[in-house]
Structure 1
Amino acid sequence: MPIDGLAGTVQYAMDLMGICAFALSGAYLAVRKDCDVFGTIVLAEAAGLGGGVFRDLVIGVTPAAFTDLGYFLTPLITALAVFFTAPLRHEETWYELFDAAALGLFSVTGTIKTLTHGFNLLAATTLGISSAVGGGVISSILVLEVPTLLLWNRDLYALPALAGAGTVAVLHHTDRLNTGTAVAAVLSAFGLRLLALRYGWRTPRSRVWRNPFAGMRQAPAPHPADAALSEDTVTVRRPDLDRHGTVHPHAEDTDSRDAAHPHQEGTIRLRREASFRTRKQPEQRRDG
C-alpha cells in the first residue's frame, strides 16, 4: 500500500487510539497528583496532543488538534471518565499499560505522517520519537516531575519509541510498509516497553555518577601542617546538602530537619557530615 494511502486509511484511527491511551496516562497522573477536574483535563489534553502538535509544527502543517473536533474531544472524554471512575484511580498497572500502548501507536503514526511530507528517514524517525514522548514530557513538566525518559533509574522509554519509529522507516525504505507491518511496528514498541517494565531493563548511566557521593561539594582538605599540629577531629555538619548531595543554600538546620523526618535521620546525618583533622580553635567550634 502506498504511504499516502496508508496515512489516509489507517492513521486517523491509530491517532485517536494513541490520543486516548496517552490521555488516560495523563489523567491517571493527574489523579495521583490530586489535581481537580480542570487539572485532570489539562494533563489529559497535554499528554494526548502535545507530541502530535509539536510534530505538526515542525513539519509545517496546521496541527490536527486545532482542525478536527475528535482530536480535542477524545482527551476530554477520557479525562472525565478517569476522574469520575473511582475503581480505576489507584491502578498503577493501568497507567503503565496505556502509556506503553500510546508510546507504540504514536511512534508509528508520527513517523508515517512525517514520511508523507517528504522528510528523510532520519528526520522521520526523530519526529516519530518526539510524537511518542512529547506528550508525556509536557504532562510531567506541568506537575513538576522529571520526565521518565531522562531518568537512569526508570525502565526503558525512549528506546521502545525508537524501535517503533525505526521499524517504520526501514519498512518504508524497503517498500514493505502496509497496514499489517505498521501494526507489527506498533506491537514491537509496545512489547519492548512492557518487557522493560516486567524485567526492569534500563539504559546505562555514567560510571562517574555510580558513586552516591559523586557531585557532592566536600569540605576543603586541611593543610598538612594543620593536620600535624593537632590530633583533634572536628565534625562539620552540612545542612545545605540533602541526602542526595543536592545543594540547598537556604536549607534549615540539620537537627530541625532530622526531627521532621526521623525515619531518614541516619541517612541524612551520614551524608551531611565530613570529618577532617585541623588545629584546635575553641572559639570557632560548634557543638555537635
Structure 2
Amino acid sequence: MTNTATTLLALDLLGIVAFALSGNLLAARKNIDITGGLVLGALAGLGGGMLRDVLLGTRPLSLSEPVYLIPPLVTTVIVYFVGQRLERVRWFIVTFDAAGLGLFCMTGTVRALDLGMNVPAAIVLGLMTACGGGLLRDVVANEVPALFNGSDLYLLPATAGAVLTAMAVRLHAWNLWTALAIAAFVFAFRMVAWNLQWRVPQPMRGWSYRGIDAKLRGTRGVFRRPKR
C-alpha cells in the first residue's frame, strides 16, 4: 500500500468515526435504541462514501474493505455506555459532524481525482461524500438536515475544503500535513459559523412563505444554534 493510500485510509477511518459518533449521539438524544443508533451511525459514516463510489462506478469501499465497518460498531458501543453521561449532547453532535465534514470533503475529492475525474466533478463528489451521510442520518432521524438549515453555514466550508484539496493535488502538494491543515480549516470554519450564526442570503421577495417560516422558527433542530 502506497503512502497516499495509507493516508487516505487513515483519514477515511477518522471521518467515519467522527460521523458515526454524531449519528449515535443523535440517536441517544432522541431516545432511539442501540440498533437504531447503529443504523444512524452507519448511515452518517458510510452513506456519503457509498453514494460517491456508486456514481464513480466502483464497488463501495465499505463493502470491499471490512475495516470500514468497524467504526460504526465501536462508536455504537461507546455511546451506549457513555452517551448518557454527556450533558452537552448537541455540542458534541455538531462538533463530530464538523470533524467528519472536514475529513470527507477532502478524501472524497482525492479519490475522485485518483479515478480520473476532472476537477469540477471531483469537487462535487467530495461534497457528496462530506454531506451525503449526514443528510441520510438527519432524514431518517426526522431532523431538519444541517445542509438545509439557513441559520449557519454547512455546504460552504465543505466546498472550500474540496476546492483547496483539488488545488493541492493538482500542485502535487497534497500529503498528510496539508490534508490535516485543510481538515482543520474546514472544521474551524464550520464551528465558527455555527457559533456565530453566520447565514447565507435568504430568499428574495418573500418566496419562503412567511407564515410557514414563522412557525418553523419555533422548532429547535439539533443543528439550529439556540438564540442567546
TM range (shorter): 0.7 to 0.9
Task: Determine the structure 1 residue equivalent to 2:221.
Answer: none
Shift of 1:83: 1.7
Q: Equivalent of 2:163, from 162, 166, 176?
A: 166
Q: Equivalent of 2:191, from 191, 194, 206?
A: 194
Report if aligned partners of 2:4, 2:175 keep a CA contact under 8 Å in 1.
Answer: no
Task: Determine the structure 1 residue equivalent to 2:220.
Answer: none
SS in structure 2 opposite 1:165? helix
Report if aligned partners of 1:52, 1:131 keep a CA contact under 8 Å in 2.
Answer: yes
Shift of 1:198: 2.3
- Structure scoring higher RCO (CA < 8 A, sep ≥ 6) equals 2
Report if aligned partners of 1:82, 1:89 keep a CA contact under 8 Å in 2.
Answer: no
Q: Equivalent of 2:63, from 47, 62, 66?
A: 66
- The answer to whether structure 1 residue 244 and structure 2 residue 205 are counterparts is no
Q: Tell me how far apart the structure 2 counterparts of residues 147 and 43 of structure 1 sit (CA, whole Å).
A: 13
Task: Determine the structure 1 residue equivalent to 2:182.
Answer: 185
Deviations 1:214-243 (A, max 9, x none): 465xxxxxxxxxxxxxxxxxxxxxxxx896
Moved over 6 A (4+): none
- The answer to whether structure 1 residue 87 and structure 2 residue 85 are counterparts is yes
Q: Give TM-score scaled by structure 2 length.
A: 0.87
| Uncovered stretches (5+) of structure 2, i.e. residues with no partner | 217-228
Q: Equivalent of 1:28, from 19, 25, 30?
A: 25
- The answer to whether structure 1 residue 207 and structure 2 residue 178 are counterparts is no
SS in structure 2 opposite 1:25? helix
Deviations 1:34-79 (A, max 9, x none): 1011101100111110001111111111111112222112111101
Q: Equivalent of 2:150, from 149, 152, 156?
A: 152
Task: Determine the structure 1 residue equivalent to 2:225.
Answer: none
| Uncovered stretches (5+) of structure 1, i.e. residues with no partner | 217-240, 246-288
Deviations 1:4-57 (A, max 9, x none): 955312000001100000000001111111101110110011111000111111
Shift of 1:115: 0.6
The residue identity in structure 2 corresponding to 1:71 is Y
The residue identity in structure 2 corresponding to 1:73 is I
Report if aligned partners of 2:21, 2:79 keep a CA contact under 8 Å in 1.
Answer: yes
Aligned length: 215
Percent identity, aligned pairs only, is: 39
Q: Equivalent of 1:99, from 93, 97, 100?
A: 97
The residue identity in structure 2 corresponding to 1:106 is F
Q: Tell me how far apart the structure 2 counterparts of residues 110 and 169 of structure 1 sit (CA, whole Å).
A: 10
Going from structure 1 to structure 2, the CA distance change for 1:7 and 1:59 (only over 3 Å counts) comes to farther
Correspondence list, 1:127-138, <5 A:
127-138=125-136
Instruction: Give the aligned CA root-mean-square deviation in angstroms.
Output: 2.1
The residue identity in structure 2 corresponding to 1:22 is F
Q: Give TM-score scaled by structure 1 length.
A: 0.70
Select the structure that is richer in helix.
2
Larger Rg belongs to:
1
Task: Determine the structure 2 residue equivalent to 1:120.
Answer: 118
Task: Determine the structure 2 residue equivalent to 1:267.
Answer: none
Q: Tell me how far apart the structure 1 counterparts of residues 13 and 55 of structure 2 sit (CA, whole Å).
A: 20
The residue identity in structure 2 corresponding to 1:180 is W
Deviations 1:96-142 (A, max 9, x none): 11111100000111111111000000011011011001111001110
Q: Tell me how far apart the structure 1 counterparts of residues 54 and 19 of structure 2 sit (CA, whole Å).
A: 19
